[in-house]
Amino acid sequence: MMVVVAVNLNKMKQLLTYVLILCIWTSTAQKMDHSEWTNILQLYVSYAGKVDYKGLLNNREPLDDYLSNLGRNAPEDHWSMSEKKAYWINAYNVFTIQLILNNYPVKSIKKLSDPWGQKFILIDGEMMSLNTIEHEILRPMGDSRIHFAIVCASESCPKLSNCAFEAKTLNDQLDQAAHDFINAPSKNILTTDTIKISKIFKWFKSDFPKGNAFITYLNNYSTVTISPQTKIDFLSYNWALND
């Protein structure tokens, strides 16, 4: 009888050890929760994408907490592409907000010294810049809709969404961002035969389809049917702060 009890105790110890390892693994493998960012956006960003920087300055703790969580929960190899993409889009946007807050009041991000090149972002022990996130991480993912989701704190940029990007809804959110940006009269002026479009399409032309395929791309989101023979011009870019 004592032998049986000893065997059972050994099995129980093995089971408890296995459960402990599983709990530790589950904890470390837990993916990033972006609900904090949504709460902040709902309070300080309008539906039109206008940012209440003064309000954020007076209540920075929630933002700082989210930034810290981002830094501690960098994407891992087992994350899905949607999870990684949502993480880095949110990271780009919130660290842009942080950059403006750290220099507020400022009339334009362009007034700052090397705003996209300075390495002020700490993620998983690595210092990086906004350029690192955009050009080395997001753009190589091959989704041109990213350009309608990341925001440079300026009037001619895409509007800052007032809810976080989430993996489970990411495709729909990116489609909506593309629709909103392409049809915004302050970003693009579209008619059947003539279009004046954002310089984003010029600066990142390698990320978009070429020739007639580009018009088809625009027509996928535009409320106006653009002719394949349309003349294309580019609008001036307004770098005024999106406040």
Contact 113, 121 (CB under 8 A): no
Which of 178, 129, 135, 152 has its CA nearest to residue 238?
152
Contact by Cβ (8 Å): 69, 201: no
Segments making up each domain of the chain, as ranges:
33-187
pTM over 0.75: yes
Q: In angstroms, rounded to a whole number, what is the distance separating the alpha carbons of residues 166 and 179?
A: 18
Residues 75/87, Cβ–Cβ less than 8 Å: yes
- Integer CA distances (angstroms), 189 to 130, 164, 179, in order: 28, 28, 13
For residue 62, the SS3 value is helix
Specify the pLDDT at position 86.
98
Per-residue pLDDT of the chain (243 residues; tens, 9 = 90+): 434 444 444 544 454 443 333 333 333 344 899 999 999 999 999 999 999 999 999 999 999 999 999 999 999 999 999 999 999 999 999 999 999 999 999 999 999 999 999 999 999 999 999 999 999 999 999 999 999 999 999 999 999 999 999 999 999 999 999 999 999 999 999 999 999 999 999 999 999 999 999 999 999 999 999 999 999 999 999 999 999
